[in-house]
Structure 1
Amino acid sequence: MVRRSSSATCPQLPLVTILLFIWVFSWGHVMAYPDIANMTALQKHASFFDRNKDGIITPSESFEGYVAIGCDVEFSRETASSVHAALGPKTSPVDAPLPHINIYIDQIHKAMHGSDTGAYDANGRFVPPKFEEIFIKHAKVRPDALTSLEVEELILANRDPLDPQSWGGPVKEWGLSYKLSSDKDGFLHKDSIRGIYDGSEFIKLEEKRRSSRSEM
């Protein structure tokens, strides 16, 4: 029996049709964005969760990122779902494929919320004076770190009374930061907080988790 070649059993599509299919299914997944040196601090923060570095964060990538920094599976799943439901529509270009659940790093500044410290400007750039204010105003036990009570005070002090919908974001963000990065004495150090703003702390947390797993 003569075996037919695989090409003989497949319909021959016009080249234009093939290219169209490739464009439809790959658009939004091969988006280029500025190299890390030219990113804003907020883009660097978000890019940790862009596990394949294509400029777009999918829910599964966020899940993987949360697990990588030490969150449990259930928390990672629930947080990834809620984050993408909230930020996907805000950062997706109007012509992005539906549903708008992916987060686009080049538009991440559009997802910024109120009641924050002001350490990011409107474009997601880091603002050193505002960052220093965190410790000038709230670091009372140590000048270079925050206790859990000081973190709570920081959150309350920055609440916008005219925007109560923005109150929940800082509670979750600072709560997670404190849980993952505070030391054994209960201090969340200045360099760790700075690293959270630009994402470098996430890399350290992932490396720490990977190292501890390899030693088991």
Structure 2
Amino acid sequence: MSCTTRRHASLAHRWTPTSRPTPNRKGPAPRRTGRARPPSPSRARFSPGGKGGDEDYALATLDTSPPAFATAADAAPITRDRPLPVDLANDVDNPGLPRASLVVDRQHPHGTRNPYLADTYPNLSVLQQHVKFFDRSGDGIISMLDTFRGFRALGFNLLFSVMAIFMINGTMAYATQDSWIPDPRFRVYIKNIHKAKHGSDSESYDTEGRFVPEKFEEMWTKYAKTSAEYMTARELFQMTEAMRNAVDPYGWIAAKFEWGTLLLLVGERHPATGELVVTRDHLRGQFDGTLFYRIEEERAKLAQGRAGAETATAETFATSGTVAGAGIRPVEAVTEGGRTTATADVSAQRVAGGETAVKQRVPWGSAQILKDVGVEE
């Protein structure tokens, strides 16, 4: 066999067998042949523009160029039509980290949780907080009757409340069970509610029911084209179309039902454009269920106020706990200092001398919580 070793082209960077120093050999060290050994990956440097460095390490090194963070590609126009919140880390620490119990966004970087549940149920996930309102008996189970009562408490009529039973209990009950045997009573178990998460959604909940700040903010930068403070009905519809996953008809229907219900529940007319919109505060509140408790509470205050309207005076009624935001449509929009406000009819009762309307100016977006389309006042 010849003592000459043939080298494959892919091994050209290695030392040749004859180039290794021989122990106790007199004279100068043998001359090394071949190419120099490349730097280790940890020391590789990716130069700006992708030239002069090993591109295999482009994503592994800190010295990266701006193109490495590009969020849009010319060959994919959709990536420009739906931008991403590239500066989110300036406002929220680690925005891609799902939060188990807190709803975190730009306005609430330290997070909030449902205040109606914090004392009684301090360890619920965000998704569990979202559905806990419908557990009317407090046993951790949402029965068909619980669903019906929950929607009635929000002001929905009989027909819509019955339809909600089929959409919620009819489709989610089996997924949340511990047993393979179907429950004939179609009960939804809150401890397993994460199993009922459907596709074609915003992904603001992860598959374990945690809240993902990055996905929530993506939803706004991608689809809220008119304003960062609200979404129009058209934008909500376009969002549900854009979020559709292939071969997922159940997810398509469920998304339309959920966002459509929110629009019926808190949709309000913009005082300037007249468009039906949902404010960011309302949309955020439905993720942890806070919105549902607020609506139920304000409906109760409104009903209490109406019950005492026959004998109450304008002064006593105005301080009885009924505040703007209790479901009365704004009647007048005013812009002062760049901020739009609304004058809302808080109440109207009979007093000596005729009917008197008590008005209070509140920030626009808070003046109407309930809606008269599909909602029973």
TM, length-normalised to structure 2: 0.46
Residues 1:153 and 2:243 aligned together: no
* Equivalent residue letter for 2:143: T
SS at match of 2:269: coil
Residue 153 (structure 2) aligns with: 68
SS at match of 1:215: helix
- Distance in 1, matches of 2:180 and 2:222, equals 44
SS at match of 2:170: helix
SS at match of 1:131: helix
| Cα distance, 1:175 vs structure 2 | 0.4
Larger radius of gyration: 2
Structure 2 residue ranges without an equivalent (≥5): 1-119, 271-275, 307-377
Residue 136 (structure 1) aligns with: 221
| Cα distance, 1:161 vs structure 2 | 2.0
Identity in percent: 36
- Alignment size in residue pairs: 183
- Distance in 2, matches of 1:164 and 1:97, equals 22
SS at match of 1:66: helix
Match of 1:196 among 254, 272, 286: 286
- Distance in 1, matches of 2:280 and 2:287, equals 11
| Cα distance, 1:96 vs structure 2 | 7.9
Residue 64 (structure 2) aligns with: none
Give a deviation string over 1:146-203, Cα, whole Å, max 9, x none: 0001101111110012323321001000001011112332221111111111100101
- Distance in 1, matches of 2:240 and 2:166, equals 24
Residue 122 (structure 1) aligns with: 207
* Equivalent residue letter for 1:177: L
| Cα distance, 1:82 vs structure 2 | 3.4
Residues 1:213 and 2:303 aligned together: yes
- Distance in 2, matches of 1:96 and 1:214, equals 45
Change in Cα spacing, 1:156 to 1:98, as seen in structure 2 (3 Å) is closer
SS at match of 1:167: helix
Match of 1:168 among 217, 242, 253: 253
Residues 1:39 and 2:124 aligned together: yes
Give a deviation string over 1:41-79, Cα, whole Å, max 9, x none: 110111100012111111101100011112111210221
The structure that is helix-richer by fraction is 1
Change in Cα spacing, 1:86 to 1:211, as seen in structure 2 (3 Å) is same
Give a deviation string over 1:17-41, Cα, whole Å, max 9, x none: xxxxxxxxxxxxxxxxxx6321111
* Equivalent residue letter for 1:187: V
Match of 1:84 among 169, 185, 210: 169
Residue 87 (structure 2) aligns with: none
Change in Cα spacing, 1:96 to 1:36, as seen in structure 2 (3 Å) is farther
Whether the aligned pair in 1 keeps the contact of 2:199 and 2:251 (CA below 8 Å) is yes
Between 1:114-123 and 1:36-45, the stretch displaced more is 36-45
- Distance in 1, matches of 2:122 and 2:300, equals 26
- Deviating beyond 4 angstroms after TM superposition, the runs of 4 or more aligned structure 1 residues are none
Change in Cα spacing, 1:97 to 1:148, as seen in structure 2 (3 Å) is closer
| Cα distance, 1:80 vs structure 2 | 1.4
The structure that is strand-richer by fraction is 2
Residues 1:106 and 2:191 aligned together: yes
Structure 1 residue ranges without an equivalent (≥5): 1-34
Change in Cα spacing, 1:201 to 1:64, as seen in structure 2 (3 Å) is same
Between 1:74-83 and 1:95-104, the stretch displaced more is 95-104
Root-mean-square deviation (Å): 1.9
Higher relative contact order (CA 8 A, sep 6+): 1
